[in-house]
A and B are shown apart, each in its own frame.
Chain A
Amino acid sequence: MISLKPRSILLISAIFRVGLILFGEWQDTHVEVRYTDVDYLVFSDAASLMASGQSPYKRTTYRYSPLLAFLLIPNSFTSRCWGKFLFSASDLFVGLFIRIILKQRKVPDDLCTYSMLIWLFNPFTFTIGTRGNCEPIVCAMILWIIICLNNGNVVQAAFWYGLIVHFRIYPIIYALPIIIFLDPCFFRSGTKPLLSDWTSDQGKARQINSELTDKCVVSDALKSTFTRSRILFGLISGTVFLLCTGFFFRLYGWEFLHEALLYHLTRTDPRHNFSIYFYHIYLNYERELSVLEKLISFLPQFIVQLVLILCFAKDLVFCFFVQTVAFVAFNKVITAQYFVWFFCLLPLILPWSNMKLKWKGLCCILLWMGAQTHWLLWGYLLEFKGKNVFLQLWMASLLFLAANTFILIVLIRHHNYGPVFRQHTDLKTTKTT
């Protein structure tokens, strides 16, 4: 049993990250292979352009909101590491928010501690922020939205949601589950929703929770679709998104709209990446793909997202997690930084999983890492040895999708699904399988 206090964990994590940032600076100066992510150089260049009154989009390959460049303006006049410290601080906030969310559901201290450690000492996640990648900011905002929703604070959740969709488009996939989540049975005017607490049974046998009754689902279906909470959430988040987008469009014009928004919606990259579609895109890049072909490649993503939302929306964090894993796995382009989108949600679902680390959990970890390493080996041969291994690399990406699918199914099977909220008049019945 781990007896470390959360404050100590955060302090050790902070010191570790400061050390990594300083080491990274040394490595960049003395070693051929840089520690700093090439994206960080792009952000910094965009920030210095903005600081001198110019458009950040003069920096080629800057494809983010101007907000990011704005946050990194201090890079130009304080230290070029300012951004890394900011991202690492967000990284620490994610650890803190993980604990807050679990404590909201009365998860015991030891499980909370393990969950924090899974994020804060995951080699993938602590290198992300210290190398200068901005994803920890996104993760922190997503978790803060979850905290606000758990507290029934719809207005604040909506504000941050509008902002995060402007900042990074992918959280738009959470819109429908959030709307479903704002169930009028739980979100009533003037009353804070009641959270379902974690119980010790969660980690044992799987349970089937029968929360949905005739009253809430069937007879009030139409009346409950457009509720105050849902309308408020939609209006506020939509307004924030449009205000931010409109403001930056006014400042930077079509270049902003294309680089920060449209590029991500229409992006297809023929260059090798983890996606199963990369080779198909490359082989067909010289001709225009037909509407049917584009639809066929979009359909799996659409179907999976819809089914996951309809099945799991009431268990919002689990829904976010499975949606994100599926979204990344079926995307036309997959880069390693996307993995952090679901890594930040994984510690939040583990207390509700009856899968043990030994040996099923360990097998899943090894399978995922093995499939990734296998792909990386072929990628290395192609990119750094100049061997034509496109076919093998493509097959490795198929295997990677298969591994992701398998692990997702295993997690679904072992998850104790349960709506986050319970009714004030408690009608919950549980049956152990």
Chain B
Amino acid sequence: MKSYFENYESLHDSSFEDFMAHQLSSSLCQGIPDNWNVGVRLSVRELSLVGEGSHRHLSSSIRLQIAAASIPKLPAHLCEVIVIQRLPLGVFADPFELQNPHKHKAFRDIAVFGDTNLELPSFQSNRSAVEFHIDAGFNILFMQNNGTEFNLLLPLHARYQPLDESGYSVVEIGEPDMLMRCSVEGKQHKQSCLFMSPPNEKAKSTSATVAWKIPAGMKAHAGFVSVITFVTALLSTLSIVYASMFLSGTKVSKT
């Protein structure tokens, strides 16, 4: 995500998908001379929202599958799974909350990119994304497996939504983008490359999103709320002024 934001000002789905498809292609493992032609498949087994109200957790269950047999010439390697959860406009993750070591000790690294302002309403903010780095282990590519699962629990908070006649705004959160990065000690320096799931598997279906219904102010309230607010303020003011001038113990007399 750091590379993405070096090239783009804000997060847009089309820009990001373009970035993933083109900018990262040169870093793919299939392209390098040692021919790391291993079938790696990362998929989301489950995506759900946990909790109620304005503070919830996005629960994702990621499955990593390694296909085919071992590759004898492949050197020893260390891999990590990189999960990028793009967030829609209406919600945000608190970067300071994600630094809590007790809750997030399973992750090698977590960072929030994009708009990290915690206070602005959604119509005055931009999108953000959370990037997780999870340790996948040593020499994982040697092991044919049915699937390793990683569970992520991302705390999210709702921003104040644009006004809506229905009184609610629905925000949809899609599946995360996933990569695996493996690094190996080369002759002169450390070498790393990326595995991504094949493009036809990355197409996301609508059922792979979760919907979050967030309360929103109603435009129909605007008129009378403003009037009654100011009338109440005025009445309180007059009461206090009257009490101060006529009901208090102050009195000026001339001797």
Say whether A and B bind each other. yes
Give Cα A202–Cα B102 distance, bound, in whole angstroms. Answer: 57
Distance from B46 Cβ to chain A, minimum over Cβ atoms (Å) = 22
Tell me which of B214, B229, B236 contacts A386 (CB under 8 A). B214
Structural contact, B218 and A405, CB atoms closer than 8 A: no
Is A4 an interface position by the 8 A CB rule? Answer: no
- CB within 8 Å of A: which of B15-70? 52-55
Give Cα A282–Cα B96 distance, bound, in whole angstroms. Answer: 26
Looking at the complex, which of A47-55, A118-126, A231-239, A409-417 is the stretch in contact with chain B?
A409-417
Known: A60-B116, A304-B237. A386 touches B160 (CB 8 A): no
Residues of B within 8 A of A45 (CB): 96
Residues of B within 8 A of A271 (CB): 119, 121, 160
Structural contact, B215 and A280, CB atoms closer than 8 A: no
Tell me which of A60, A283, A388, A401 contacts B226 (CB under 8 A). A283
When each residue 211-255 of chain B gets 1 if its CB lies under 8 Å from chain A and 0 otherwise, what string results?
001111111011001101110111011011101110111111111
Known: A210-B251, A279-B225, A307-B244. A388 touches B168 (CB 8 A): yes
Is B106 an interface position by the 8 A CB rule? Answer: no
Range of interface residues on B (Cβ < 8 Å): 35 or more
Give Cα A337–Cα B241 distance, bound, in whole angstroms. Answer: 26
Distance from B90 Cβ to chain A, minimum over Cβ atoms (Å) = 13
Structural contact, A409 and B243, CB atoms closer than 8 A: yes
Structural contact, B52 and A409, CB atoms closer than 8 A: no
**Could you tell me the dominant secondary structure of chain A's interface residues?**
helix
Is B208 an interface position by the 8 A CB rule? Answer: no
Residues of B within 8 A of A409 (CB): 239-240, 243, 247
Residues of B within 8 A of A178 (CB): none
Residue of B nearest to A306 (CB): B241
- CB within 8 Å of A: which of B114-171? 116-119, 121, 123-124, 160, 162-163, 167-168
Give Cα A417–Cα B228 distance, bound, in whole angstroms. Answer: 34
Residues of A within 8 A of B121 (CB): 270-271, 282, 285
Residue of B nearest to A287 (CB): B222
Residues of A within 8 A of B234 (CB): 300
- Can you give 8 A-B contacts (C-beta < 8 A)? A269-B119, A279-B225, A304-B241, A307-B241, A311-B250, A386-B54, A388-B216, A412-B240
Give me the 3 closest cross-chain CB pairs, A-B, nearest first. A417-B249, A388-B215, A384-B53
Residues of A that sit less than 8 Å from B by CB: 29, 41, 45, 60-61, 206-210, 212-214, 217, 269-271, 276-277, 279-280, 282-286, 296-297, 299-300, 303-304, 307-308, 311-312, 322, 326, 329-330, 382-391, 394, 398, 401-402, 405, 408-409, 412-413, 415-418, 427, 429
